[in-house]
């Protein structure tokens, strides 16, 4: 994945220049290309970049400046290597090796995945809980990283709830009474008596500020004032894993 992504990036960089002056030394040029790849990967994950390469130039220009060079020098260096494809291939291989080494270092430093769901994992409605229980989720998050959320759910045809679905959201405090919510997962549940495994993954990046995962595994639109109805469902193997990621 890293190899393919960097190759596309390099092709786009190559296409950006046609001048031939002010060449950046090879060592610094490699460092700049490595950092451009890393910044593009991060901001793409944050949703800042769109698909058009020209929209990334302000960010790349800043990377070049942080290395002590001007964008015109970088532009000219790309052009110089354009006319020397064998040397550019050597640059490409070196940058790729740098990225793969960084990937290896990060993977070795990661803490192991942690299971955050510590409560009961299996429910049968209405046999082992209330016939209108929605199975609440309220879990403290562990900060940045990937969260893998899953459960096996069966809703029987005789279930009397309306529009049963998974409804989970991210939460943090703010100036309002109920706090700030960000919808994480809305998944309709089928009433056919079959067991399905539902799974989703979400990565939280630095600065998002959310502190809890909240919501319900068996949410429905039925009015709780109407007490005559009963849910007929089963949930097994509820799990919320956190996989740390270093940024």
Over the stretch 174-214, which tens digit does the pLDDT of each residue have?
Answer: 888 889 999 999 999 999 999 999 999 888 887 778 999 99
pLDDT at 192: 96
Measured from the Cβ of residue 179, the count of other Cβ atoms closer than 10 Å reads 14
Tell me the pLDDT band of 55, cut-offs 50, 70 and 90: very low
Q: Residue 125 and residue 155: Cα distance in Å, rounded?
A: 9
Average pLDDT of span 88-93: 88
123 beta partners: 235
* Nearest one of 133, 138, 147 to 232, comparing CA atoms: 133
Is the pTM here over 0.75, yes or no?
A: no
* Domain residue spans of the chain: 2-109, 114-243
Tell me the pLDDT band of 98, cut-offs 50, 70 and 90: confident
Residue with tokens 């049968």: 124
Tell me the pLDDT band of 228, cut-offs 50, 70 and 90: confident
Tell me the pLDDT band of 109, cut-offs 50, 70 and 90: low
Q: Residue 224 and residue 69: Cα distance in Å, rounded?
A: 65
CATH number for region 114-243 = 2.60.120
CA 106, 111, 112, 117 torsion: positive or negative?
A: negative
**Whether residue 67 has pLDDT greater than 60:** yes
**Whether residue 168 has pLDDT greater than 50:** yes
């Amino acid at each position: 994945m890293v190899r393919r992504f960097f190759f596309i990036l390099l092709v786009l960089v190559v296409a950006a220049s046609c001048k031939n002056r002010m060449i950046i030394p090879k060592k610094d040029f490699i460092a700049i290309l490595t950092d451009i790849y890393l910044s593009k990967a991060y901001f793409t994950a944050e949703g800042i970049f769109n698909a058009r390469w020209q929209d990334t130039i302000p960010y790349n220009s800043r990377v070049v400046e942080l290395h002590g060079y001007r964008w015109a020098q970088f532009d000219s260096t790309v052009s110089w290597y354009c006319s020397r494809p064998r040397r550019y291939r050597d640059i490409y291989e070196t940058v790729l090796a740098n990225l793969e080494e960084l990937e290896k270092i990060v993977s070795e430093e990661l803490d192991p995945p942690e299971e955050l769901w510590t409560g009961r994992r299996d429910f049968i409605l209405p046999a082992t809980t209330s016939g209108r229980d929605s199975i609440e989720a309220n879990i403290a998050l562990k900060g940045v990283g990937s969260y893998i959320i899953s459960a096996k759910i069966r809703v029987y045809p005789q279930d009397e709830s309306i529009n049963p679905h998974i409804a989970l959201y991210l939460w943090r405090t703010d100036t309002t009474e109920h706090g700030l919510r960000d919808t994480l997962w809305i998944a309709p549940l089928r009433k056919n008596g079959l067991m399905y495994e539902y799974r989703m993954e979400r990565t939280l990046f630095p600065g998002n500020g959310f502190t809890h995962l909240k919501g319900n595994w068996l949410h429905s639109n039925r009015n709780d004032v109407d007490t005559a109805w009963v849910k007929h469902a089963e949930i097994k193997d509820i799990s919320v894993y956190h996989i740390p990621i270093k940024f």
